[in-house]
Amino acid sequence: MGLRIACDLDGTIADMEGALQREAERLFGADVVVRPPGSAHLEAPPEVGVDPASAAKKPEEPSGKRVLTPRQIRQLWEHVAGIENFWMTLNEIEPGSVARIAELRAKHALEVIFLTQRPDTAGDITQLQTQHWIAAHGFELPCAYVLRGSRGKAAAALDIDVVIDDRPENCLEVATESQARPILVWRDPVDTAPPGASRLGIETVFSVAEALQRVEEAILQPAKTKATFMARLRGVIGV
C-alpha cells in the first residue's frame, strides 16, 4: 500500500490570501493589506466579537499600507460569503503544484486527501467548490475534506502518513495527536520560521515543491518507523 498523504489547501497550495487582498482593496482601497508578512495568519472566519478599541486602530505596515482592523476583517469575510463560488476563483501559490501532486500520486500509488477549514460562500457547497478547483488544476477525482476540528485528530482517524500544512499550530496538532509526519510550508521570511519545530518532529520547508521532494525521498528511501509523540518527547528531553 502506498503512503497516505494529506495536503492543506489555503496558504499551502491555494492563494486564499491573494484573493482576500484583492477583495479587501475593492472594499477599502488600494492602500490596505490583509496581513503584514510575519504576522499571524488571517483566520477564516475571524472570531465573533470585535473589541471597539482595537477596531478603531489603523496600524500601518512599514510600506505605509494600512493593516485591516478586526472590524474590517469581519466585513471582508461577510463580503466574501456573498461571492458566488469564491473558492473556485483562487490561484495556485506555486503554479503547477496541484498537477505535481497528481504526478506523484500516479508514480508512487499515493493516496492523497486535501484538507481545508473554509467557511461557506454563495454558490456550490464548499466541498464541491474545492473539488472543482483541484480538478481544474490537474488532479482528477480529488478527495477533499472540509474540517471543523483538529488536524491531528483527523490525521489519526484517517491513518495519514504525512501532512503538509502552512500553519505551525496545525502541524503541532499533527505531531501531538497522531503518528503522521508533519511538514510545515513556511512562506514568510526565513528568519521568522518558528524555532524548535524540529525538536517536536515538525519539518520546515519553504515551498510545496520542497515538501513534495521530501515526500518522494521518504518513498524512495523508506525510513525509520514512524515515531510516536512520546518518542519525540523523549528525544527532546534527552531520555
Q: Are 165 and 174 a contacting pair, CB within 8 Å? A: yes
The 10s digit of each residue's pLDDT in 34-82 is: 987 666 666 666 543 333 333 334 444 546 789 999 999 999 999 999 9
For residues 5 and 130, give the distance between their C-alpha atoms in angstroms, rounded to a whole number.
17
Whether 195 and 149 share a structural domain:
yes
CATH label of the domain that carries residue 136? 3.40.50.1000
Domain range enclosing 106: 4-15+87-237
Whether 161 and 80 share a structural domain:
no
Per the structure, the count of domains in the chain is 2
For residues 162 and 90, give the distance between their C-alpha atoms in angstroms, rounded to a whole number.
25
**Beta bridge partners of residue 205, listed in sequence order:** 185
Whether 57 and 100 share a structural domain:
no
Whether 62 and 79 share a structural domain:
yes
pTM here is 0.85
Grid cell, residue 227, equals 515515531
Of 88, 87, 103, nearest to 208 by C-alpha is 103
C-alpha distances in angstroms, 3 versus 14, 38, 181, 183, 187?
Answer: 23, 32, 11, 14, 25
Q: Are 195 and 184 a contacting pair, CB within 8 Å? A: no
Whether 75 and 92 share a structural domain:
no
Grid cell, residue 11, equals 496558504
Whether 131 and 68 share a structural domain:
no
Q: Which residues in the chain show pLDDT less than 70?
A: 1, 37-63, 222-239
Q: Which of 69, 84, 99 is the last residue of a domain?
A: 84
C-alpha distances in angstroms, 209 versus 4, 33, 139, 215?
Answer: 18, 27, 16, 10
Whether 59 and 126 share a structural domain:
no
Instruction: List all residues 6 or more positions away from 105 whose beta carbon is below 8 Å from its beta carbon.
Output: 111, 112, 139
Beta strands in the chain (DSSP E): 4-8, 32-33, 66-67, 111-116, 144-146, 162-165, 181-185, 203-205
Q: Are 12 and 97 a contacting pair, CB within 8 Å? A: no
For residues 237 and 227, give the distance between their C-alpha atoms in angstroms, rounded to a whole number.
15
C-alpha distances in angstroms, 61 versus 36, 70, 191?
Answer: 7, 16, 18
Whether 26 and 143 share a structural domain:
no
Of 92, 93, 94, 86, nearest to 26 by C-alpha is 86
Q: Which of 84, 104, 130 is the last residue of a domain?
A: 84
Of 126, 135, 193, 182, nearest to 154 by C-alpha is 182
Whether 68 and 144 share a structural domain:
no
